[in-house]
Amino acid sequence: MSLLTIENLRIAFPARGGSTEVVRGVNLEVQQGETVGLVGESGSGKSLSCRSIIRLMPSHAQMTANVQFDGRDVMAMSRKALRDHRAHSVGMIFQDPFSCFNPTKRIGEQVAETLRVNAGMDKSDAHVRAIELLASVEIDRPEQRYRAFPHELSGGMRQRVMIAIAISAGPRLLIADEPTTALDVTTQAQILKLIEQRRRDLNMAVLLVSHDFGVIAQACQRVAVMYGGYVVEAGPVAEICARPQHPYTRALLESIPSLESAGHHIRRAGIPGQPPSAGEMGAGCPFAGRCAFARPECAGVDMSLEVVGDAHATACPFVRNVSATSEAGGA
């Protein structure tokens, strides 16, 4: 049984004359211990989708879904059960580790506070355990760092502390929402490595949300590509990178700047136009307006995923991307 199943997730916000749906029927599954990526541009609904797992929504958002976590129905949880779910089963880290901390409290105390509240430890136990946790996220001289204030730490260091807090209860799932976007490439690589190590040691699953396909390709086994509130393609990362099926995924992959371009001045085609804003999305495929393969029927596409390969599915019924070599091999 999978650790997490999200079925038909819909999130809408009230708007003039009705409501605007920003997540429009997302299905997602995460197995025990695996790393799943959620990739998409701003406004695609990826952050809201991952927040649904702990029902962390703006108060005016209208969310309907069937969310099963470890056999329990998240949508049916009482306040107390939800609090317990957030405290023990799921850990979450965010893009900006600075705004997550209290700037007037020492970071060690903030780690210890989590342990006292969530795990019911007494003061001295929490202190000892907090130092262990800081050491486990590779913060050197954890005893001294315990007494540091958030502003005294670098961005990478703050993200490490954030991870320490998120994994303090030994969660089954870690949600990492753009955890490295604000960091340098060198620090980014270290943080991704740290998340991977912690994942293996604690046997937890990771849901990694990012706009950067490079990060996803490095860290995940499976990925779901989001656009305009839909998952447009899902499958194994290697498979999707090699044979993207949905025209959006393909165009996105081709837009990614690459070090290989150094010295060649070939311009990338990019994707014309801009992503639709929440208010202007109609029926059918939200990518049709920018798609090189668009046709009149695109307005009637229901955006359900169609299986095209081994655990690989696409929402586009019209375009198939086939490798010439594999086609020849199969024939």
DSSP 214: H
CB of 7 to other proteins, least distance (A): 27
Nearest distance from residue 41's CB to other proteins, in Å?
A: 4
Smallest gap from Cβ 21 to other proteins, in A, equals 20
Determine, following the binding rule CB under 8 A, whether residue 205 of this chain makes contact with other proteins.
no
Min separation Cβ 3 and other proteins, Å: 26
Instruction: Decide if residue 325 touches other proteins (CB under 8 A).
Output: yes
Are 242 and 225 in contact by the 8 Å Cβ rule? The answer is no
Q: Is 262 in the site for other proteins (CB under 8 A)?
A: yes
Binding of other proteins by 331 (CB under 8 A): no
Could you tell me which of 24, 26, 27, 23 has the C-alpha nearest to residue 2?
27
- Collapsed DSSP state (helix, strand, coil) of residue 36: strand
In sequence order, the 6+-apart residues with CB closer than 8 A to the CB of 247 are 287, 291, 292, 293, 316, 319
What does the alpha-carbon distance between residue 91 and residue 177 come to, in Å, rounded to a whole number? 11
| Of the residues 241, 278, 281, 294, which one makes contact with other proteins according to CB under 8 A | 241
Q: What is the C-alpha to C-alpha distance for residues 317 and 251, in angstroms, rounded to an integer? A: 17
Distance in Å, CB of 131 to other proteins, minimum? 28
Report in angstroms the alpha-carbon separations of 309 from 28, 218, 224, 293.
17, 22, 15, 21
Measured CA to CA, the distance from residue 35 to residue 115 in angstroms comes to 26
**With binding defined as CB under 8 A, does residue 280 bind other proteins?**
no
Q: Among 72, 280, 283, 293, which residue interacts with other proteins (rule: CB under 8 A)?
A: 293
Pick the closest to residue 306 from 220, 207, 235 (CA basis): 235
Residue 135 or residue 319: which is nearer to other proteins going by CB? 319
64 vs 326, beta carbon nearer other proteins: 326
Q: Vertex 200, ends 99 and 121: CA angle to 5°?
A: 55
Is 72 a binder of other proteins (CB under 8 A)? Answer: no
Q: Is residue 300 a contact point for other proteins (CB under 8 A)?
A: no
Stretch that binds other proteins, among 92-100, 122-130, 170-178, 267-275 (CB under 8 A): 267-275
Among 16, 18, 42, 103, binds other proteins (CB under 8 A): 42
Residue 35 engages other proteins in binding (rule: CB under 8 A):
no
- Written as one letter, the residue type at 49 is S
User: Which residues are at the interface with other proteins (CB under 8 A)?
Assistant: 41-42, 155, 184-189, 211-215, 217-218, 238, 241-243, 250-263, 265, 267-272, 274-275, 277, 293, 317-325, 327
